[in-house]
Amino acid sequence: MENENWYVYILLCRDGTLYTGITNDIKKRMLAHEKGKGAKYTKGRGPFKLVYENIFNNQSMAMKEENRIKKLSKVQKLKLVQI
């Protein structure tokens, strides 16, 4: 499945924090987050708003972008998602 799309996404949590992650199925991942099973960080922080989404052709490129975003300050992330 080399042509499978991978998504880098940022969620705005109920408490105002941001969560960055990657997935190959954005709808399934959002449901998992809402059910408290998406990631340890997001458990209990819902509901969420998807504020950023970028599509990549492979997991490696998505992981590189996720790591780049995670190194940004909150101010830089807010500028990226324009909220």
- Please write the tens of the pLDDT for every residue from 51-64: 999 999 999 999 99
Q: pTM to 2 decimals?
A: 0.91
Decide if pLDDT at 2 tops 60: no
- Angstrom distance (rounded) from CA 14 to CA 76: 19
Domain-by-domain residue ranges, the chain? 6-81
Decide if pLDDT at 14 tops 60: yes
Summarised one tens digit per residue, pLDDT across range 29-76 is 999 999 999 899 999 999 999 999 999 999 999 999 999 999 999 999
The CATH topology of domain 6-81 is GIY-YIG endonuclease (3.40.1440)
Contact 46, 52 (CB under 8 A): no
